[in-house]
């Protein structure tokens, strides 16, 4: 929920001119470039624009400290990059291996990872290295090599803070407390953004509207965070993909998100060491009574349970292919078991104060019962204590410290968990410079749809840096001036009908939208429920022209609801098209008529899709308000070896040919 009343603009300049509209007199500020968002992607792009010599640009943000980069993490939040001696082609292949990913984007993300990573280290982000200066890595989920690194549970927070400090040192203007509600266009091209801010409210401008005119807009707003009720995204972050879709950008792979186990309060991924130390899974009734270990109700081979818990550490995202693997129920069976307990009205917890019964032998913990891989890993980490909390303290003490700082003492308290949405692999379609099909509109970070069905853990943090660098470089190659804003470009943007809605009404509807989306199109997907919700979303969107609001807070929150619905419409259309085209379970979601309990008790692999791995799924908003969906072949990974002769590259670089000039 956004608190617009406590926000103000920093580094703000006076308006360059005003536009008279039906909403009142709206101020307009002109810049060459506007960056929307203040996370690792937004601040990274701002630093890159400054390094490229751009002088006329600013950051506009709903709330400087509200985004995912600053407020989420896991046991040791991962950054995925090229390792020393690694080949970019190999890393690109690993990122594209899950299917439905453009190869040129995979290659760009791999090649750019070194630049992005070492900029962060030069700014003081404390990634660990050995006495030789080597940044040693580890294996993460969907990883073929040890390319992962981390500086603890708050890696993305450290990244954001370091980049923010650099942006402040460069005196980059930042407007704080401005919710972007519309991307303004001049014909087919980007012309700027319309925002709502309490800081701009006046008798002549009661809704607090403000325009930032710019020839180029960088959309660094994060993922579709508010579309689900079961989510690990921070409560402070809300959706903004809808504005880009409405401006004419296409959605890509909006079927593909990651889901996994996360704590409910605070919202935090319970991956990595939180699982590898073999905690106990328990459930209770709604009041916290009637505690029992429940995994044995769904996984009746006792030897499968501790091994599945351990593997959940580096196989954290729910995966349709990892429910049953190698003749045994595996790591993703845990997600289904947790979900089943929740369906029965029970609450589910991780308990670090006692061992799971499956590793108890003679009254003592025997970690060898979790399998040779788990035992070797825990021994190498020096994490062989009697209790899970002792093992976690030895393996990763900051993981305990994180929860303590949020008021949860894992030495004494159980940790409530659920299966939650965590990251959208799809997003807005971009080219290899992160520009959309709308000229002048760039999308970076999680909002950019650069990934496919699955991706290596930590590649999202890498993408925040690569995307911002690439967009800044392309923008700097073609300096353009902002066009003058006309009243008709703003007219009709904010609902001003006769049906007054209150803030409570708006937030209640938002909770309804999120709950329905979790029910029909989260990690379990039902085409009948999806189609029914499509009808509901169309009906809700048709209501907006009749609604009316009076304050900046109400206007901002109502427009957030509209953005959520547009995003949900695009995702539902994509899911319906995929399933009706013969698509079956894949990645982090299931398409099945069987219940989760039936899948667990069936003890057989879930068939997963391979037919569509060579295509991406596009969704484009039509003038009629529906989404046109289609498949498009994946572009291949460039055959870089032997292709680029230095003198040819040099000539293309200095002439601007690499930018398509």
Q: Is residue 117 part of a domain?
A: no
Q: Give the pLDDT mean for 14-19.
A: 97
Helix (H, G, I), strand (E, B) or coil at 473: helix
Of 155, 150, 197, 152, nearest in space to 36 by CA = 197
Are 377 and 300 part of one and the same domain? yes
Are 521 and 555 part of one and the same domain? yes
Burial class (CB in 10 A: 0-12, 13-18, 19+), 502: exposed
pLDDT tens column, 170-198? 999 999 999 999 999 999 999 999 999 99
Mean pLDDT of the chain: 93
Q: Is residue 240 part of a domain?
A: yes
Are 269 and 384 part of one and the same domain? yes
CA distance 116 to 462: 7
Site of tokens 């003679």: 362
Q: Angle at which helices 503-521 and 527-543 pack, to 10 degrees? A: 160
207 close to 24: Cβ distance less than 8 angstroms = yes
Name the CA dihedral angle for 561, 562, 568, 569, rounded to a multiple of 10 degrees: 160
pLDDT tens column, 321-334? 999 988 889 999 99
Query: For residue 11, what pLDDT is reported?
Result: 57
Query: For residue 640, what pLDDT is reported?
Result: 67
Query: For residue 603, what pLDDT is reported?
Result: 83
pLDDT tens column, 499-510? 999 999 999 999
DSSP code of 5? G
Res. 266: pLDDT tops 90: yes
Burial class (CB in 10 A: 0-12, 13-18, 19+), 450: buried
Query: To which H or E segment does residue 399 belong?
Result: helix 388-405
Query: For residue 641, what pLDDT is reported?
Result: 61
Beta bridge partners of 348: 283, 417
CA distance 615 to 256: 13
180 close to 192: Cβ distance less than 8 angstroms = no
Of 126, 35, 100, nearest in space to 453 by CA = 100
For the record, the structure tokens of 359 come out as 């590793």
Are 52 and 163 part of one and the same domain? yes
For the record, the structure tokens of 182 come out as 């519309």
Q: What ranges in 286-352 are assigned the alpha helix state H? A: 295-298, 304-311, 333-343
Q: Is residue 637 part of a domain?
A: no
Q: Is residue 632 part of a domain?
A: no
Res. 5: pLDDT tops 70: no
Are 323 and 400 part of one and the same domain? yes
Res. 247: pLDDT tops 60: yes
Q: Is residue 18 part of a domain?
A: yes
Are 314 and 408 part of one and the same domain? yes
Query: For residue 3, what pLDDT is reported?
Result: 40
465 close to 450: Cβ distance less than 8 angstroms = no
Q: Are strands 441-443 and 216-219 parallel, antiparallel or unpaired?
A: parallel
281 close to 332: Cβ distance less than 8 angstroms = no
Query: For residue 8, what pLDDT is reported?
Result: 37
Res. 239: pLDDT tops 90: no
Q: Is residue 112 part of a domain?
A: no
Are 539 and 609 part of one and the same domain? yes
Query: For residue 303, what pLDDT is reported?
Result: 79
Query: For residue 374, what pLDDT is reported?
Result: 95
Q: Is residue 101 part of a domain?
A: no
Query: To which H or E segment does residue 620 belong?
Result: strand 615-621
Q: Give the pLDDT mean for 313-320.
A: 92
149 close to 37: Cβ distance less than 8 angstroms = no
Could you tell me the residue range of the domain that residue 246 belongs to?
Answer: 8-71+154-258+422-448+456-489
- Mean pLDDT check: name the lowest of 3-7, 437-441, 457-461, 594-598: 3-7
- In angstroms, the Cα distances linking 366 to 350, 353, 361, 598 are 19, 16, 6, 31
Are 407 and 478 part of one and the same domain? no
Res. 222: pLDDT tops 80: yes
Are 470 and 606 part of one and the same domain? no
Site of tokens 């008529």: 593
pLDDT tens column, 319-376? 999 999 888 899 999 999 999 999 999 999 999 999 999 999 999 999 999 999 999 9
User: The CATH number of the domain where 557 resides is what?
Assistant: 1.20.58.100
Are 469 and 606 part of one and the same domain? no
Radius of gyration of the chain (CA): 25
Q: Give the pLDDT mean for 201-218.
A: 97
- Mean pLDDT check: name the lowest of 159-163, 463-467, 559-563, 602-606: 602-606
Number of structural domains the chain divides into:
3
Query: For residue 253, what pLDDT is reported?
Result: 98
Q: Give the pLDDT mean for 606-612.
A: 95
CA distance 501 to 385: 57
User: The CATH number of the domain where 268 resides is what?
Assistant: 3.90.700
**83 Cβ contact partners less than 8 Å away, ≥ 6 residues apart:** 135, 137, 145, 146, 147
213 close to 28: Cβ distance less than 8 angstroms = yes
pTM: 0.94
Q: Is residue 145 part of a domain?
A: no
DSSP code of 138? B
Q: Give the pLDDT mean for 456-481.
A: 94
CA distance 481 to 567: 31
User: The CATH number of the domain where 196 resides is what?
Assistant: 3.50.50.60
Are 383 and 397 part of one and the same domain? yes
Query: Around 130, how many Cα atoms within 13 Å sit in the side-chain half-sphere?
Result: 5
Of 90, 40, 86, nearest in space to 64 by CA = 40
Query: To which H or E segment does residue 190 belong?
Result: strand 189-196
For the record, the structure tokens of 266 come out as 């605070």
Q: What are phi and psi of 618, to 5 degrees?
A: -105, 150
Query: For residue 87, what pLDDT is reported?
Result: 87
Are 354 and 442 part of one and the same domain? no
**For the chain, percent of residues with pLDDT exceeding 90:** 82
Query: For residue 480, what pLDDT is reported?
Result: 81
């Amino acid at each position: 929920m956004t608190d617009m009343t406590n926000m103000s603009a920093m580094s703000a300049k006076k308006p360059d001119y005003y536009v008279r509209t039906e909403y009142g007199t709206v101020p307009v500020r002109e810049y060459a470039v506007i960056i929307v968002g203040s996370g690792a992607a937004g601040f990274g792009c701002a630093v890159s624009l400054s390094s490229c010599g751009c002088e006329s640009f600013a950051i506009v943000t709903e709330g400087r400290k509200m985004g995912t980069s600053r407020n989420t993490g896991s046991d040791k939040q991962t950054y995925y990059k090229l390792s020393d001696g690694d080949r970019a082609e190999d890393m690109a292949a690993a990122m594209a291996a899950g299917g439905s990913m453009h190869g040129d984007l995979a290659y760009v993300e791999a090649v750019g990872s070194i630049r992005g990573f070492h900029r962060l280290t030069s700014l003081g982000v404390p990634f660990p290295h050995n006495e030789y200066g080597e940044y040693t890595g580890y294996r993460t989920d969907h990883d073929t090599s040890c390319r992962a690194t981390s500086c603890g549970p708050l890696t993305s927070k450290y990244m954001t803070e370091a980049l923010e400090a650099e942006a402040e040192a460069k005196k980059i203007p930042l407007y704080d407390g401005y919710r972007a509600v519309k991307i303004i266009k001049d014909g087919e091209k980007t012309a700027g953004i319309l925002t709502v801010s309490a800081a701009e409210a006046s008798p002549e401008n009661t809704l607090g509207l403000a325009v930032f005119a710019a020839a180029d807009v960088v959309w660094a707003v994060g993922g579709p965070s508010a579309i689900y009720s079961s989510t690990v995204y921070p409560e402070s972050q809300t959706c903004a993909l809808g504005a880009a879709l409405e401006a004419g950008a296409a959605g890509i792979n909006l079927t593909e998100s990651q889901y996994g186990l996360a704590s409910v309060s605070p919202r935090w991924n319970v991956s990595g060491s939180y699982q590898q130390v073999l905690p106990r899974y328990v459930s209770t009734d709604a009041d916290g009574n009637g505690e029992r270990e429940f995994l044995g109700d769904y996984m009746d081979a006792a030897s499968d349970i501790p091994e599945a818990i351990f593997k959940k550490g580096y196989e954290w995202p729910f995966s349709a292919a990892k429910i049953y693997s190698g003749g045994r129920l595996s790591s993703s069976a845990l997600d289904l078991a947790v979900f089943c307990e929740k369906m029965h009205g029970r609450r589910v917890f991780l308990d670090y104060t006692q061992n799971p019964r499956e590793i108890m032998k003679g009254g003592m913990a025997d970690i060898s019962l979790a399998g040779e891989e788990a035992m070797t890993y825990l021994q190498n980490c020096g994490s062989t204590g009697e209790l899970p909390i002792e093992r976690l303290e030895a393996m990763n003490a900051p993981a305990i410290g994180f929860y303590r700082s949020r008021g949860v003492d894992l030495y004494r308290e159980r940790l409530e968990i659920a299966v939650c949405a965590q990251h959208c692999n799809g997003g807005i379609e971009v080219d290899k410079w992160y520009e959309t099909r709308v000229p002048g509109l760039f999308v970076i970070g999680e909002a950019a749809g650069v990934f496919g069905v699955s991706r290596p853990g930590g590649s999202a943090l890498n993408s925040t840096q690569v995307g911002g660098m690439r967009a800044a470089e392309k923008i700097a190659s073609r300096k353009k001036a902002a066009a003058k804003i006309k009243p008709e470009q703003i007219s009709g943007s904010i609902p001003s009908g006769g049906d007054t809605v209150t803030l409570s009404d708006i937030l209640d509807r938002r909770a309804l939208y999120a709950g329905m989306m979790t029910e029909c199109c989260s990690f379990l997907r039902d085409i009948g429920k999806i189609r029914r919700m499509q009808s509901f979303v169309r009906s809700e969107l048709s209501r907006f022209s009749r609604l009316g609001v009076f304050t900046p807070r109400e206007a901002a929150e109502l427009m957030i609801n509209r953005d959520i619905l547009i995003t949900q419409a695009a995702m539902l259309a994509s899911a319906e098209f995929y399933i009706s085209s013969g698509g079956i379970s894949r990645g982090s979601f299931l398409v099945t008529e069987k219940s989760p309990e039936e899948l667990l008790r069936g003890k057989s692999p879930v068939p997963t899709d391979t037919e569509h791995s060579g295509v991406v799924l596009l969704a484009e908003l039509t003038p009629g308000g529906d989404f046109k969906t289609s498949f498009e072949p994946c572009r291949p990974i460039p055959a870089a070896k032997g292709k680029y002769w230095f003198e040819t590259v040099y000539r293309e670089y200095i002439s601007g040919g690499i930018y398509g000039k």
